[in-house]
Structure 1
Amino acid sequence: MVNHKNKQTDSKNGRQGGTERRKSKRLWIIILLLMVGGTAIVLSGWMRTPLSTDAERASSTFTVREDDLVITVTESGNIKAQESTDIMCEVEGRGVEIASIVPEGTVITPEDVAKGKILCQLNAAELQDTYNRELIDFSAAKANYLGAQEAHLIQKKQNESDIAAAQLAVEFGLMDLQNYLGEKASQKLVDEESRDPNVVIEIATLLGLLDDPNNLGGEASQMLKQYQNNILLAEGQLEKTTDVLTGTQKLHDANYASDLDLKSAQLDVNRFRIQKESAVEALRLYKLYSFPKQTKQFLSDYHEAKRELDRTVARTRSELAQAQARLESTEASFNLQKSHVAKLERQIAACIIRAPSPGIIVYGTSADWHQRREDPIEVGDMVRRGQKIFTIPNSNVMGVELRVHESSVNKVMPGLDVTVTVEAHPDLAFHGKVVKIAPLPDPQQGWLDPGVKLYTTYVTIEGSHEVLKPGMSAKVEILVEQLHNVKIVPVQIVENRAGKKFCYVATDSGPQEREVVTGAFNNTFVEIVSGLQVGEKVLLSPPQGIEREPASETKKPRQPSQEDKKPQDNVEEGGESLEEPAPDSDVSTTS
């Protein structure tokens, strides 16, 4: 409008030169009026700033929706080889000289490992001399050991023969006893002596065996029957001759028999009477002397054979123990010499160090910066047992060592998937898993991290990657949980007050405070378990002028203060104050 009027004025000034000064005054008046109007507009806008801010806040809302919620923990760490091989000096003694060694930084390939590439050689001349001397002692110990083995074997065979002969004697002794007395009677005597080895078998006991013909058997039974049969025959003949003598006497008295016939009959009676008496006496002598003697003899022979068996077993056991002791002594000497020789062989073999695994050669002195600079490993140095010569980290199995803050350590568990990026190659992403979390926090390092609790965590990276080097800085994103189709809102929407959580829902009647129950959350969104419905609009920040009630079950009505009773100029039509009250001390935003 101003430019248009200026153009009209210029055209009129061109046509009417006389009225130029009057038109100029009018222009300045218009410009002054425009300046005053602009100033009034600016002042009016400045005075209504709280109202516009509250309106903007009322219009800044988020619609509750169902979506996937990814919970992650992100920490930084360093690339570290998950597998590394430490090559130590295994040669014992005061030390051994390095004869040759590969340069530090040499790359060991799988082909080098397969071919057995030599990495370091130690001087083994002194060990070889000792080995030759030990071989001579080893040969002598081996000969003694083999001789003791043969002697032990011979002694075992001899013992078996002696014991077998003694057992056979016991068996024969029992068979002789059973042959004489029978199985039942012999077993009865054997059992009686077995119960008490010092018992003396009485004659009455032996005679009791004769009185019981059912128990007695064998030769003794046959002899008893023979004696008894002799008595019976003698008695029969005596009875017969006695009858003949009686008949002959009657015939003699009747003069039918001669004196010779009578005398002959008398002689037959006397002969068979004596024969009977002899048979009876023979039976008595057998019972009193022959039977007990033979029985005790066979029983004694049986028990003597058993005692000889015991002595044979004891003697052979002693002789075998002596042979065993000689064998063990020579075996111990042989094994000792053998271990000395084997140890020297291992020591000599340990003087040649071959590539055990692929990787990069790192000298053992490189871990100590001062030693690496002042006294690095080189040819001619002396190394001792247990001293680290090389470390070969395996670049095919890499991982990350990181430290997780105590606020997130309970979320991290072994087996969770991770994504790793390194600063050297930020465009590359590597995948892996959590393998281990330290059970205790790292020791605090004084003023560097006072009160901070960090837990060392180990992550393995899947696959082999040539671009990864030990010591590289890495960023690890741990996938803790991935929820699907859950209600979410931004984390700044939720307000924490007195242990409860609230947010403000935009309704037709104005903002409405709503208590909610939250679940999992990340740096951007939080899960709403209950309290909100999908599609509801929630304010991104608490509205101004709303009195926040204490989060308790019983809400008391707010009593108006003295200032509330005063007339207020900065009040909207709804009666809400346009000025933002100071936040309560128990209100915090969930992050």
Structure 2
Amino acid sequence: MKDRHHPADACEHRTAEVKQDARADRRAATIESTLVLATAFLFLSGLASQLLFGNVTALISNFFEDRPTLELLTTRPTVGPFSHIVLERGEIESSSNVEVRCEVSSRGSSGTNILQIVPEGTWVDEGDFLVRLDDAALQTQLIQQQIVCSNSQSAVIEAKANYDSAKLALDEYDKGTFKEQLEKQQSDVFVARENMRRAEEYLVYSKRLASRGYVPEAQLEADAFAVEKARKELKVAETKLEVMQTYTRQKMLTQLNADIETAKARLQSKEKTWELDKIQLRQIEDQIAKCTITAPCSGQVVYQNKQSRSSSTVLIEEGLPVRERQVIINLPDPTKMRVIAKVHESRIGHVRPGLPAKLLLDAMPETELSGHVTQVSEYPLPAVSAYMDHVKEYEVAIEIDSPPKGLRPGMTAEVRVLVDEIDRALQLPIEAVTEDEGRFFCGIPTADGGLSALEIQVGQANETAVIVKEGLREGAPVVLNVTDPDVAEELSAAIANL
């Protein structure tokens, strides 16, 4: 007989299964929650670790995956002859350049107008006509000054006549008038003495008669008075004679000599005034003569037309004024030509007088000329603008040996000044060398496609190559394109790691 479960037992068994399933579900939920929390914890821990410390593996993987491939151009240092050359550009001018200037004084005006001028480029010989300036105002001044000179001359003639008259007056008095007055006074003294003698004799005679009673007393007193009067008249005459000889003559001679000196001083003053007037007259005549300018030597006429950067005004032209000492025309000697070059301050220390040079003219590219440095400026040229004030350039003059025909001032040329020549030197293209804080480096390609930095010691350099003194051997591969941005960045990093 089959076992039959009691319903109560079945219910109890079912209840037990339900409880067991519930406990299993709870355990499963607990395990699942634990796994979820563990997974979240690991995720958050990994994220924090990656944020705080960085996922090195991922960064390295990304670096190698995103790193661009460097395109390296290489070259090799070579041993051979080296020429240290300073390469610049310059302008041709004549080294024997005669400047024709305006020598007419402006006299307070803005200048003197040009009435006529020979065309630019004309070949002239010594003495040929060049420029005629306006002399109308000078001609008026000439007439006025001639009148002034005539008046001055008249004043001189009058002053000279006064001077001669003063000298004649002195001779007249000393040799004529004084002698006449002297003799007259001496005659007066002689007459007075004679009158006194006669009066005295008559008084003696009157006294004899009075003693005999023939002459009254009054007559005797009158005769005595006559003697006294004659004596006083003689004394006065002698005094006048003494005064004339001692004082009057000296006084008149002093006055007449003073008149002579005064007349002489006035004459000298008038003569100097006349001389100054004549000098001014000659100056005006000279100024008029300088209004016509002729060639001092043979040459080609070149106008001195230096225009301002802010204006295109022509300075030399018929009708325009020129000031005193302004250069109007240049007469360059075509047999003596030179090039004026501007050399940067970084290279001027290598240039000195006597160095040979090669020149290539833009107008004659097929002809190479030779020359030599004749002059190196001691001071930098003025800056052409405020923006270029930091650029310092020095003027260098290169004399051209045997200038060819057709060479004209103003032409431009490329100048190569040979500073030094070395028969054998290890050299590298200048593009393969970089400078960092006074040290020089070059890039060496590595096996993995990168590059490493190598410090070298350099010597002289020209426009294309630089001498390597130490740090590199002949034939070693060197990166050429170190100026490429990516290569330059890589080389900078390699230099920083040295």
Normalised to the residue count of structure 2, the TM-score between the two structures is 0.48
Please, what TM-score do these two structures have when normalized by structure 1?
A: 0.42
